[in-house]
C-alpha cells in the first residue's frame, strides 16, 4: 500500500493533500467541448459525485465573454440530471466575488462548475475573495468543483494562461501564473490534442520537472479523487507528461526564444477507465484503478 503524507504544504498553501480523506470532495477537469445534449457522460458523472444531501448546482461563467449564451445550456443540463436548483452566479467583478449572497449560494451547492473562457479573468476576479474561500471550504466538505476549458486550466496552484501551440518548445514561450489553488503539483491544459498543445506542456515540464502535465482532449475529463488518484472519463484522450525523471535539458542556458532540448520525458495516453497516481507517478490500468478506488470507498 502506498503511504501518503497528511502534512499540509509549506507556507500554509491550501490544497487537497492537507484535507482529511474522509471529508474532501472531488475535482473534475474537462478538456472542453463536452457533450451537453446527448448522453452527458462527463456532466452526468460530475453530478453523481456530489454529496447525496446536496443536489444544488452553482454555475460560474466569469471566464466567458458571452455568459448569457453559456449559462442556459448548463442550466438545462443540470436540471435534466436532477438538480433541485441551478444557480447561475452573476460574478463579473471583485465586488460581486465578495457578495454575501453569492457566498451563500456556493455554501448550498454540491457542485460548483466553472465554464470556459479566459482563465486570467477567473484568477483576477476570484483571487483572495470570499467566494473563492467558500468554494475551497465546499470542496473540503465534500462538494464537487468542476471546470471545462479555461475553468479546468485555472484549477491548479499554477496555471498556463498563454502560449502558442505551433512551436512552444522554446524558452519562455509559455506564460504561467498562479491559479485558483484547488490542487497542487499539476499543470492542466485543455483542448489538448485538437489544438496541438503537446509542446506547451513539454516546455512547462522542462522548466518545472516536478509539475505533472495533464493535457485533456475535448469531450474528455479527469476526476481528481481526494487521494490524488486521477480517473479518466469520457470518449476522448487524456495525455500525461511526466518530467520528474528528466535526464537533461538545456533550458537554463538558453536565451529567450531559443529551442529547448529534453531527455527522458515520459508520455502516457489515457482513455476512459484508466488512471494515474499523481504522487507515485504510476499509470493505472482499469483493474488497478478499480482496486484503489474500491479500497478508498471501503475506508
In order of start, what are the domains of the chain with their CATH numbers? 24-292 (3.40.50.880)
Work out the average pLDDT over 196-211: 96
Q: Residue 9: pLDDT above 80?
A: no
Quote the pLDDT of residue 16: 42
Q: Residue 23: pLDDT above 70?
A: no
5-9, 173-177, 221-225, range with the lowest pLDDT: 5-9
Name the pLDDT band for 237 (thresholds 50, 70, 90).
very high
Q: Residue 49: pLDDT above 90?
A: yes
Share of the chain above pLDDT 90, in %: 89
Quote the pLDDT of residue 15: 45
The cell for 51 is 454529496
Name the pLDDT band for 14 (thresholds 50, 70, 90).
very low
Work out the average pLDDT over 162-172: 89
Half-sphere exposure at residue 210, Cβ-oriented, CA atoms within 13 angstroms: 3
Share of the chain above pLDDT 70, in %: 92
More confident residue, 90 or 199: 199
Mean pLDDT, the chain, rounded, equals: 92
Q: From start to end of 115-193, where are the E strands?
A: 144-148, 158-162, 175-178, 186-189
Across the chain, how many H-helices and E-strands are there?
Answer: 9, 17
Quote the pLDDT of residue 21: 43
SS3 content of the chain, % helix, strand, coil (to 5): 30, 25, 45
Amino acid at each position: 500500500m502506498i503511504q501518503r503524507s497528511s502534512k499540509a504544504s509549506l507556507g500554509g498553501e491550501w490544497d487537497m493533500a492537507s484535507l482529511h480523506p474522509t471529508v474532501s470532495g472531488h475535482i473534475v477537469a474537462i478538456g472542453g467541448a463536452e457533450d451537453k445534449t446527448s448522453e452527458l457522460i462527463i456532466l452526468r458523472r460530475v453530478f453523481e459525485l456530489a454529496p447525496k444531501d446536496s443536489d444544488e448546482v452553482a454555475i460560474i461563467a466569469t471566464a466567458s465573454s458571452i455568459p448569457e449564451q453559456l449559462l442556459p445550456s448548463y442550466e438545462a443540463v443540470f436540471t435534466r440530471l436532477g438538480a433541485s436548483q441551478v444557480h447561475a452566479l452573476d460574478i463579473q467583478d471583485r465586488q460581486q466575488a465578495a457578495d454575501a449572497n453569492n457566498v451563500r449560494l456556493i455554501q448550498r451547492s454540491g457542485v460548483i462548475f466553472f465554464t470556459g473562457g479566459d482563465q486570467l479573468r477567473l484568477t483576477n476576479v476570484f483571487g483572495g475573495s470570499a467566494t473563492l474561500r467558500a468554494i475551497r471550504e465546499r470542496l473540503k466538505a465534500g462538494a464537487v468543483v468542476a471546470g471545462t476549458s479555461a475553468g479546468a486550466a485555472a484549477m491548479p496552484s499554477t496555471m498556463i494562461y498563454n502560449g502558442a501551440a505551433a512551436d512552444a518548445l522554446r524558452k519562455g514561450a509559455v506564460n504561467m501564473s498562479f491559479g485558483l489553488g484547488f490542487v497542487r503539483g499539476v499543470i492542466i491544459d485543455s483542448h489538448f490534442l485538437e489544438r496541438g498543445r503537446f509542446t506547451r506542456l513539454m516546455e512547462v515540464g522542462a522548466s518545472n520537472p516536478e509539475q505533472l502535465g495533464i493535457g485533456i482532449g475535448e469531450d474528455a475529463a479527469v476526476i481528481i479523487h481526494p487521494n490524488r488518484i486521477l480517473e479518466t472519463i469520457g470518449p476522448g484522450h487524456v495525455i500525461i507528461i511526466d518530467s520528474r525523471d528528466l535526464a537533461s535539458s538545456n533550458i537554463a542556458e538558453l536565451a529567450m526564444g531559443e529551442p529547448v532540448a529534453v531527455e527522458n520525458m515520459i508520455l502516457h495516453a489515457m482513455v476512459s477507465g484508466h488512471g494515474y497516481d499523481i504522487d507515485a507517478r504510476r499509470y493505472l490500468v482499469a483493474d488497478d484503478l478499480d482496486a484503489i478506488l474500491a479500497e478508498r470507498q471501503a475506508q
